[in-house]
Chains A and B, each alone.
Chain A
Amino acid sequence: MTDTVGIVIVSHSKDIAKGTADMVRQMVGSEVKVAFCGGNPDGGLGTSVSLIIDAINDAWSAKGVAILVDLGGAETNSEMAVEMLEPARRELVVVCNAPIVEGAVMAATEAAGGSSLAQVKAVAEELSAD
Chain B
Amino acid sequence: MSLQPETFKSLVKMAAEQVIASAPELTTLDQAIGDGDHGTNMKRGFEAVLGKLDAISAQPLDEGLKMIGKTLVMTVGGASGPLYGSFFLGAGEALSQDKHLPDDLADVFGSGVNAVSARGRSQAGEKTMLDVLVPVLETLRTAAGQPDLIARVRATAAEAVERTAPMQATKGRASFLGPRSVGHVDPGARSSCILVQAVCASLEGQQ
Contacts and interface: CB of A to CB of B under 8 A. Distances in A.
Interface of A: 40-42, 44-50, 71-73, 75-77, 79-80, 84
A109 B193 CA distance: 47
A71 B175 CA distance: 12
Given A46-B77, A73-B81, 14 more contacts: A40-B41, A40-B44, A40-B77, A41-B44, A41-B77, A44-B37, A45-B35, A49-B74, A73-B78, A76-B79, A76-B81, A76-B83, A76-B120, A80-B85
A77 B72 CA distance: 11
A79 B120 CA distance: 10
23 contacts: A40-B41, A40-B77, A40-B78, A41-B44, A41-B74, A44-B40, A45-B35, A46-B37, A46-B77, A48-B74, A49-B74, A49-B82, A72-B79, A72-B172, A72-B173, A73-B78, A73-B81, A76-B83, A76-B120, A77-B78, A80-B73, A80-B81, A80-B119
A42 B44 contact: yes
Interface residues of B, number: 22
Interface string B7-50: 00000000000000000000000000001010011001000000
Interface string B135-150: 0000000000000000
Identify the interface centre among A40, A47, A50, A84: most chain B CB within 10 Å of its CB: A40
Contacts of B77: 40-42, 44, 46-48, 73, 77
B75 interface: yes
Interface in B128-173: 172-173
A50 B120 contact: no
Nearest to B75: A41
A19 B77 CA distance: 21
Identify the interface centre among B35, B76, B78: most chain A CB within 10 Å of its CB: B78
Interface in B75-122: 75-83, 85-86, 119-120
A81 to B, nearest CB: 9
Contacts of B79: 72-73, 75-77
A80 B82 contact: yes
A40 B120 CA distance: 19
A75 B119 CA distance: 11
Contacts of B73: 49, 80, 84
A71 B85 CA distance: 19
